[in-house]
Amino acid sequence: MKLIRTYAGIPEEYASAEKSKVVLIPVAYDGTSTWGKGADKGPGAFLEASENMELYDIETDSEVYREGIYLTETLDGFNSPENMVNTVHNEVKDFINRGKMVTMIGGEHSVSIGAIRAFNEAHQGLTVLQIDAHADLRKEYNGSKYNHACALYEASQITNLVQVGIRSMDRSEVSVMNRDHVFFAHEIMSNDYWMDNVLDLMTDNVYITFDLDALDPSILPSTGTPEPGGLFWYETLEFLKRIFEECNVVGFDIVELCPNKKEKSSDFLAAKLYYKMLSYKFKQNMEEIENEYEQPYNFEKFERNGEQYDEK
C-alpha cells in the first residue's frame, strides 16, 4: 500500500500542497439525493479511474499534472447538510486565499453551494456556468434549502448564473429562472450559435459547476437522475475549450457521479473530463505567455525638438 495517495498516481514532486497550482478536493456526500443513491462513492470511483488514465493530453500537447495537483483528504462524515456546506465553504476559501486553482469532485450537487459561496466572496461579478440536466433552482426541497434540487438557488440570487443543457425542472422554478441566461437542451440542438450566445453572457471570472447528468445517459449512465437528450463528448469539449480560452475560469467542480460496479466507463469519462478541463486551463496560460513573446515591438520612441513622439 502506498503511504501517500496522489491524484492519478502522479509523482510526489508534483503533488505537494505548497508547490501545486491546483487543489483537488473530493467531497463524499450524498445526504439529500432523491432517487439513485451513491453519489458519495463518486470521488472514490473518480480517483481510481484517474489512476488508470494516461497523463499526456494529445489535443493540447501537454502534461498538465506538471503544474502540480494537490489532492486533499476526502471531506466526509458530515452531521448535517448545513455542516457539509460550511465545511466545503471553509476549505475552498482557505485554498483560494493561498492562491490555488480550486477544483472539487462530488458528491451530489449540493456540494457546490459552499464552493460557489467562497468563489463569490473572492471575485467580483462572478459568473457561475452551470452545465446540468436540471435547473436546481428550488428555494427549498424536502424541508432543506441545501437539498441537491436547490444547488443553484443561492447562485441565482448572488451571481451571474448561466445554465446550459437543462431539460428537467419544476414549474415553481420558472419564476426563479432568468430565461435569457438559460440554454435548454432542446434549443441547443437547433441553434448553431449557442456557444457564442453563452460566451456573450460571461463576465471576466467564471466558475464552472459541471453536473455529469448534463451529458447524454448513453455516454454517462452512472448518475443519480439521468435524463435523455443530453450533451455528447466532443461538443462538450469544444464548448469547454472555448470557455477556458475566452474567460478566466477561477475554479470548477464535477458532481453527481454515482458509480455502478458493472459500468466503469462513466468513472473514466469523469476522470478524463476533469483532466481535459485542467489541460484547457493551463494551455490557455501557455498561449498567453507565447503571445507575450510574439508581440512585435511595434513602435519606436524618438525625440524631436525636445518632445517625445510615438510612431507606429
The reply to whether 134 sits near Mn ion by the rule CB under 5 A is: yes
What stretches of 86-146 adopt beta strand conformation (E)?
101-106, 127-131
The reply to whether 138 sits near Mn ion by the rule CB under 5 A is: no
What is the per-residue binding string for Mn ion in 161-200, x denoting contact by CB under 5 A? ----------------------------------------
Alpha-carbon separation of residue 146 from 81, 193, 251 (angstroms): 6, 34, 21
As measured in angstroms, the least distance from the Cβ of 206 to Mn ion is: 19
Output the furthest CA–CA distance in the chain (Å, rounded).
82
Question: Which listed range, 49-57, 117-125, 131-139, 190-198, lies at the site for Mn ion (CB under 5 A)?
Answer: 131-139
The reply to whether 216 sits near Mn ion by the rule CB under 5 A is: no
| Count of alpha carbons within 13 angstroms of residue 239, beta-carbon side | 23
Among 91, 173, 211, 267, binds Mn ion (CB under 5 A): 211
- In angstroms, rounded to a whole number, what is the distance separating the alpha carbons of residues 90 and 118? 8
Note whether 120 and 96 are within 8 A (CB).
no
As measured in angstroms, the least distance from the Cβ of 176 to Mn ion is: 16
Note whether 208 and 277 are within 8 A (CB).
yes
The reply to whether 40 sits near Mn ion by the rule CB under 5 A is: no
The reply to whether 227 sits near Mn ion by the rule CB under 5 A is: no
The reply to whether 267 sits near Mn ion by the rule CB under 5 A is: no
The reply to whether 213 sits near Mn ion by the rule CB under 5 A is: yes
Alpha-carbon separation of residue 192 from 181, 197, 216 (angstroms): 17, 10, 19
User: What is the secondary structure of 152-201 as a DSSP string?
Assistant: THHHHHHSEEEEEEE-B--GGGTTTS-GGGEEEHHHHHT-TTHHHHHHHT
What is the per-residue binding string for Mn ion in 87-126, x denoting contact by CB under 5 A? ----------------------------------------
Decide whether 33 or 279 has the Cβ nearer to Mn ion. 33
Decide whether 101 or 254 has the Cβ nearer to Mn ion. 254
As measured in angstroms, the least distance from the Cβ of 242 to Mn ion is: 22
Residue nearest to Mn ion (CB): 134
The reply to whether 276 sits near Mn ion by the rule CB under 5 A is: no
| Residue carrying the nine cell digits 495537483 | 69
The reply to whether 132 sits near Mn ion by the rule CB under 5 A is: yes
Q: Is the Cα torsion angle 200, 201, 207, 208 positive or negative in sign?
A: negative
Question: Which listed range, 25-33, 182-190, 212-220, 228-236, lies at the site for Mn ion (CB under 5 A)?
Answer: 212-220
Amino acid at 81: P
Binding site residues, Mn ion, CB under 5 A: 132-134, 211, 213
